[in-house]
Structure 1
Amino acid sequence: MTLPAPKLDDLTWADLMAATTRRIPAESDGTWTLHAPADPGVTLLELFAYLLEQRLYWLDQAPDELVVAILKLLGLEPPRPARAAATVLALSTGGETPTVVPAGTVLARDPAAAIRFTLDDEVTAFPVDGDAHVVTDRDRTADLLARRGVPLLASDGSAASARFTLPLTGAHSTSGWLSVLFELDSPLPPSWAPPPLPVVRPPAELTWSWFRPSGDASGGFAQVEDGTGGLRRSGVVRLRPPPEWSTMDNGLLVATPAATYPAPPRLLRLAVNVSGARHAERRTVTGLGEQTDRWLKLPGQRLVLPDAADRLLTAVLHLAGEEWEPAADFAFGSGRDRIFLLDRHDGALVFGDGLTGRIPRPGGTVEVGYTIGGGRDGNGGLTDNWLPVDLAAPVRAANPVKADGGADPETVAQARDRAAGALGEVTRAVTAADFVTLATTTPGVQVGRAHAAVGEHPGFPCARVPGAVTVHIVPSVPAGTVPAPEPDPGMLCAVEERLAAARLLTAEVFVRPPVYRDVRLRVDLSGTPADRAEVSTVVSAALRHHLDPLTGGDEGTGWPFGGALRPSALLRAAQQALGDLAAVTAVAIGIDGADPAETCDDVPLRAGDLPVVREVRTHVVPVVEPGEGLL
């Protein structure tokens, strides 16, 4: 049960006066006889009662410093600072030769504007002309340009490859990077989005290589930085070509010996000359002696930074050869700690009082490295007029994806509300429901469903092992793409690592893919449907959807693990889909390769098993009129 919140402010001024006046006769031995408000003694009692009531009110008011300290004691984040929005900038050059744009270059839509984005990586901007082409089993460029989603690699464990032709022109070589944006249809946040996701093993082992479209040259790259995590999510792939490469070798090949994806990754956009960019600008300032020389050895000193009001994100101070670092608050600081607070509103560094946080001494050299930006102002749409602020180069940029993720600083009240919700989150795996919750919320992978089989041990399939828990997971895939989705090896490892860290000391945890049971169905229909092909298609789609591991079942959340196959439920699902097209008379079920057999009994499945429909056949039975065939 939930304990009620304690209330310390439970006395009013009237209660205090009533309790005090009742004690006057006894405490004064009857000598104090006038208890009316006109008596000066009563006036003093009223004043003291008023002051005491204020003190009692303060007991129920927790100051911000106390809230932040309690959050730290609970192991929760203090109020979060402002967060910078992120996007991807695709650079184009106006010259005929490649232009190298270094990391840290600041770009803005208007050089005088406050919204500026900084490149994360160095970009070699090659001259381009036209659009990229993609070939899988056939030329899928038209689908790519229409953003219909191009399936790149298979998901059946076989060898697979995809070929791209980048829109590079000329015959230029480079020692820099070739950077390519792969925007995928994935529910996971992209690689450039804050905050970063944990590193997860790729779903398949990929090999990146280049080729000349004419076919007379090919080879591998000297270095590969795959921001997509093996095409698990959207990201930037950076490739360092070998010395013999030139822009004539604009073919790109990605291949894998075993495509173990839960579903084929779907490509929505391909762009070159790209880098992640953030709404943050790094600056360094020295010579703030006009402020530090006026400091006294008193608490609460401030150092105001230029052009940082309402934009200050982080800072590091070097004062008289000593390094000072930012802190969330002074609650756990000592008088010797060289720490300061960030005042984003004023763009200033705030120092301690000598007890919690050291008081800085005036004099000495001052150097501050700080970052400005962040906040919701950085979020925005698609534009193509980004220009370098301090770089004299013939380049401009466009952001093919929206800038997102920027957030204003969190207030103490917002942090307290967030902490209240965080205290209810599952962090330890004790019950079967805890294992399911932790598995389906594993960061970095997309788990659709999970089933915790308590007592199931892979080494002892016929016995119940105390302390063993086997969790079967089903990956989340787009509806209708894969009938029996299997988790990739990286997903299995990520979920197992999370559950192993959250389990009880005496528990043994295993993570396995689901066990699918092949199901064959035969549906008997009566009547004379006008279009038998349409009837067969409708019945097959309805039954496949009803038994789907992710969207099936009566509630549409996936067929229950180990749920028995009921002929009556399958008949109802088929009839609801058909409507007046035909009447369903019977449904026959065959499992594990057996021929469908008509039965009135449920077909059981083992605990943790899921059905997968391999075949649905329809059989039309002529309508028999009443009395037909009787003499």
Structure 2
Amino acid sequence: MTLPVPKLDDLTWADLMAAVTRRIPAESDGTWTLHAPVDPGVTLLELFAYLLEQRLYWLDQAPDELVVAILKLLGLEPPRPAQAAATVLALRPESDVPAEVPEGTVFARDPAAAIRFSLDDDVTAFPVEGEAAVFTDRDRTADLRARRGVPLLASDGSAASARFTLPLTGAHTTTGWLSVFFELDSPVPPSWSPLAAPAAPPAELTWSWFRPSGDASGAFEEVEDGTGGLRRSGVVRLRPPADWSTVHNGLLVSTPAATYASPPRLLRLAVNVSAARHLEHRAVTGFTDQTDEWLKLPGQRLVLPDAAGRLLGAELRLADEEWESAVDFTFGTSRDRVFLLDRDEGALVFGDGLTGRIPRPEGETVVEYSIGGGRDGNGGVTGNWLPVTADSPVRAANLVQADGGADPETPARARDRAAGALGEVTRAVTAEDFVTLAVTTPGVAVGRAYAALGEHPGFPCARVPGAVTVHIVPSVPRDGADVVPAPVPDPGTVCAVAARLAKTRLLTAEVFVRAPAYRDVRLRVDLSGTPADRVKVSTVAGDALRRFLDPLVGGDDETGWPLGEALRPSALLRAAQQALGDLADVTAVAIGVDGADPAQTCDDVELRAGELPVVREVRTHVVPAVEPGEGLL
């Protein structure tokens, strides 16, 4: 329950006049007898009541500076500046010669347009022809082109590898980077997204090159893996050795132990790529036409060229001193070299000498700033990107939709966001807190969690006060041929969740993060009568029961079978009958655990805390139909 927001300005002018008029006889000892508006004293009271009503109105009006100051005192993020949209650009040279495109090169759909994106990294744009090919246990290129999702590596902890043939042509060398775009079917935000967080690799990967003919191979000198070990979509940048050329267009990724929760699914592969953001960097020196007119007065401004309505960030060097950007001047002192960004005017705003130092026009003025950001940068996928500078002989296409751009946040919206943030879980106190923090761990995909209070791995038969064991189930795909029925979190996910809970736990709590324990379950479904299509009935019943007991989408609410929940024959019978409908009548469901044969009983099969069932077998058995009244004397 939340308290209602108090309203301080609840007195009106009429209320004030009524209250003061009632006090006139007593305060004047009866000598003030005329209380009509024509009386000069009443006129003065009406004036004072008017002024007091205005002061009362101000009580409920919090200025923007106060909102920002309170957010800082609460340790919350102040009003957010404009955010730049991000995408991935694939470059193609206009000739048969590779083009070296430096970081920060600006592209636009129309060179005269204001919406411009800058590359995050250097790109070597090689000539390409055709499409990439992928090989795992067999040639999976057709699946890749149809975006059906190609499982690259195993999830059983064994050694695994995947081979790619990149669509590079000719025999070109480079001293730069070979950049490859991997789009994966993953719920983790991609590396270029503003929501991206550091991703702990789920497995140790090795990237190497080879020649498809098989006469040469080797390792790359340097690797920058934006996918976090194929955990999320991203760009992998590879620096080839001196003896490499585009003839060696084979790419091999391997691991000695594929400890993935589920095989990473590849949706698309491309080369000559880089993340790009809706911003453009500028550097301007001078500004003497403005600084020469400055006086030693507060509120000085420095207007930047072509920045009105688009100013995103700035760095200032004034009189051989570095100045920093600030959100406001509330906590500044007279010696702080800080300034504010006025996005609408495209200017730097300085302090008043009390909160924020007043600048002096001495020496050289150098400003490095960026323009862009905002919702205007969000857009679709097109292939007509052109470099703004004429000396870049390349063309580009964005492979993913530009997203993440946002306008500056107003103090009112920041206040609303802060009100919601105060209810967020930031400390692990109750069992629900441990679950919430584990599921929302950034950089990994945790589907479910269960906090077992008092469970200690070192004392399995005792309840230890202060110990908490959190069992986590990773979020993995539940469709396709490579579905993992009993997903186990990879080591990177376990470490990421454990690190977060270690920072948020109470000082006296001891926290452990573990995978759930799975119990093998075998089921037998007894059907009455003779079904018309026994194969279909068996398939439908088996799929329904596997889904009902699934650790991620099972249960009555389809959010996963509850950890430690007992297996009830009546619930399994109901799930099978609902799936079969009129195909057959289910008379009983028998349950067997830990390799035992299914035993028909009405008793529940108990599971321990933190355990989940995994269906290994579902058999159907047809029993004779029971006629009405049969067996009665």
TM-score range, shorter chain: over 0.9
How many angstroms apart in 2 are the aligned matches of 1:315 and 1:31?
69
Alignment correspondent of 1:109: 109
C-alpha contact 2:207 2:254 (8 A) present in aligned 1: yes
The residue correspondences of 1:6-17 to structure 2 (distance < 5 A) are 6-17=6-17
How many angstroms apart in 1 are the aligned matches of 2:458 and 2:448?
24
C-alpha contact 1:174 1:246 (8 A) present in aligned 2: yes
2:48 counterpart of 1:45:
no
How many angstroms apart in 1 are the aligned matches of 2:375 and 2:8?
39
Alignment correspondent of 1:518: 520
Shift of 1:321: 1.4
2:479 counterpart of 1:477:
no
Shift of 1:630: 12
C-alpha contact 1:105 1:391 (8 A) present in aligned 2: no
C-alpha contact 1:226 1:236 (8 A) present in aligned 2: yes
Alignment correspondent of 1:20: 20
2:362 counterpart of 1:358:
no
How many angstroms apart in 2 are the aligned matches of 1:580 and 1:32?
94
C-alpha contact 1:429 1:438 (8 A) present in aligned 2: yes
Q: Give the secondary structure class of the aligned counterpart of 1:57.
A: helix
Shift of 1:206: 0.7
| Change beyond 3 A, Cα 1:551–1:369 | same
CA RMSD of aligned residues (A): 1.5
How many angstroms apart in 2 are the aligned matches of 1:346 and 1:338?
21
Alignment correspondent of 1:312: 311
Alignment correspondent of 2:609: 607
| Change beyond 3 A, Cα 1:628–1:443 | closer
Alignment correspondent of 1:133: 133
How many angstroms apart in 2 are the aligned matches of 1:499 and 1:132?
42
C-alpha contact 1:289 1:363 (8 A) present in aligned 2: no
Q: Give the secondary structure class of the aligned counterpart of 1:597.
A: coil
Instruction: Kindly provide the amino acid, as one letter, of the partner of residue 487 in structure 2.
Output: P
2:51 counterpart of 1:54:
no
Shift of 1:189: 1.0
Q: Give the secondary structure class of the aligned counterpart of 2:547.
A: helix
How many angstroms apart in 2 are the aligned matches of 1:595 and 1:195?
49
C-alpha contact 2:196 2:443 (8 A) present in aligned 1: no
| Change beyond 3 A, Cα 1:381–1:476 | same
Alignment correspondent of 1:216: 215
Alignment correspondent of 1:557: 559
C-alpha contact 1:9 1:59 (8 A) present in aligned 2: yes
C-alpha contact 2:152 2:162 (8 A) present in aligned 1: yes
C-alpha contact 2:199 2:231 (8 A) present in aligned 1: no
Shift of 1:628: 8.3
Alignment correspondent of 2:179: 179
The residue correspondences of 1:390-405 to structure 2 (distance < 5 A) are 390-405=389-404
Shift of 1:246: 0.9
| Change beyond 3 A, Cα 1:131–1:37 | same
**Further displaced range: 428-437 or 529-538:** 529-538
How many angstroms apart in 2 are the aligned matches of 1:577 and 1:83?
48
Alignment correspondent of 1:595: 597
How many angstroms apart in 2 are the aligned matches of 1:561 and 1:222?
46
2:575 counterpart of 1:567:
no
Alignment correspondent of 2:508: 506
Shift of 1:391: 4.8
2:580 pairs with one of 578, 594, 602:
578
**Further displaced range: 433-442 or 12-21:** 12-21
How many angstroms apart in 2 are the aligned matches of 1:628 and 1:57?
84
How many angstroms apart in 2 are the aligned matches of 1:20 and 1:619?
91
Shift of 1:196: 3.5
Instruction: Kindly provide the amino acid, as one letter, of the partner of residue 517 in structure 1.
Output: R
Deviations 1:82-104 (A, max 9, x none): 01011111111122221111111
What is the TM-score of this pair, normalised by structure 2? 0.97
C-alpha contact 2:200 2:443 (8 A) present in aligned 1: no
Q: Which runs of 5+ in 1 are unaligned?
A: none
How many angstroms apart in 1 are the aligned matches of 2:565 and 2:183?
38
Alignment correspondent of 1:419: 418
How many angstroms apart in 1 are the aligned matches of 2:352 and 2:486?
64
Q: Give the secondary structure class of the aligned counterpart of 2:180.
A: strand
Instruction: Kindly provide the amino acid, as one letter, of the partner of residue 19 in structure 1.
Output: A
The residue correspondences of 1:521-540 to structure 2 (distance < 5 A) are 521-540=523-542
Shift of 1:187: 1.1
| Change beyond 3 A, Cα 1:31–1:629 | closer
2:496 counterpart of 1:494:
yes
How many angstroms apart in 1 are the aligned matches of 2:114 and 2:624?
77
Q: Give the secondary structure class of the aligned counterpart of 1:285.
A: strand
Alignment correspondent of 1:5: 5
Alignment correspondent of 1:154: 154
Alignment correspondent of 2:79: 79
How many angstroms apart in 2 are the aligned matches of 1:530 and 1:254?
49
Shift of 1:621: 1.9
Deviations 1:469-517 (A, max 9, x none): 0000001111141111100000000001111111111100000000100
Alignment correspondent of 2:239: 240
How many angstroms apart in 2 are the aligned matches of 1:221 and 1:38?
95
Shift of 1:24: 2.5
2:371 counterpart of 1:369:
no
| Change beyond 3 A, Cα 1:515–1:25 | same
**Further displaced range: 569-578 or 68-77:** 569-578
| Change beyond 3 A, Cα 1:283–1:629 | closer
| Change beyond 3 A, Cα 1:578–1:37 | same
Deviations 1:409-462 (A, max 9, x none): 000111001001000000011100110011111111111100000000000000
Instruction: Kindly provide the amino acid, as one letter, of the partner of residue 622 in structure 1.
Output: P
Q: Give the secondary structure class of the aligned counterpart of 1:9.
A: coil
How many angstroms apart in 2 are the aligned matches of 1:626 and 1:251?
71
C-alpha contact 1:132 1:164 (8 A) present in aligned 2: yes
Shift of 1:625: 4.8
C-alpha contact 2:314 2:325 (8 A) present in aligned 1: yes
Shift of 1:393: 3.0
Alignment correspondent of 2:224: 225
| Change beyond 3 A, Cα 1:207–1:340 | same
| Change beyond 3 A, Cα 1:581–1:389 | same
Deviations 1:91-144 (A, max 9, x none): 111222211111111111211111111111111111110000001111111111
Alignment correspondent of 2:277: 278
Alignment correspondent of 1:441: 440
Q: Give the secondary structure class of the aligned counterpart of 2:434.
A: helix
C-alpha contact 1:342 1:350 (8 A) present in aligned 2: yes
Instruction: Kindly provide the amino acid, as one letter, of the partner of residue 262 in structure 1.
Output: A
Shift of 1:598: 0.8
Shift of 1:151: 0.8
| Change beyond 3 A, Cα 1:622–1:25 | closer
| Change beyond 3 A, Cα 1:536–1:433 | same
What is the TM-score of this pair, normalised by structure 1? 0.98
Instruction: Kindly provide the amino acid, as one letter, of the partner of residue 122 in structure 2.
Output: E
How many angstroms apart in 2 are the aligned matches of 1:510 and 1:500?
9
How many angstroms apart in 2 are the aligned matches of 1:458 and 1:306?
63
Q: Give the secondary structure class of the aligned counterpart of 1:271.
A: strand
Alignment correspondent of 1:69: 69
How many angstroms apart in 1 are the aligned matches of 2:97 and 2:143?
31
Shift of 1:36: 1.1
Instruction: Kindly provide the amino acid, as one letter, of the partner of residue 613 in structure 1.
Output: V
Shift of 1:624: 5.1
Instruction: Kindly provide the amino acid, as one letter, of the partner of residue 433 in structure 1.
Output: E
Instruction: Kindly provide the amino acid, as one letter, of the partner of residue 108 in structure 1.
Output: A
Q: Give the secondary structure class of the aligned counterpart of 2:51.
A: helix
Alignment correspondent of 1:451: 450
Shift of 1:20: 2.0
C-alpha contact 1:105 1:118 (8 A) present in aligned 2: yes
- Count of residues in correspondence between the two structures: 630
C-alpha contact 1:130 1:167 (8 A) present in aligned 2: yes
Instruction: Kindly provide the amino acid, as one letter, of the partner of residue 495 in structure 1.
Output: V
C-alpha contact 2:200 2:444 (8 A) present in aligned 1: no
Shift of 1:392: 0.9
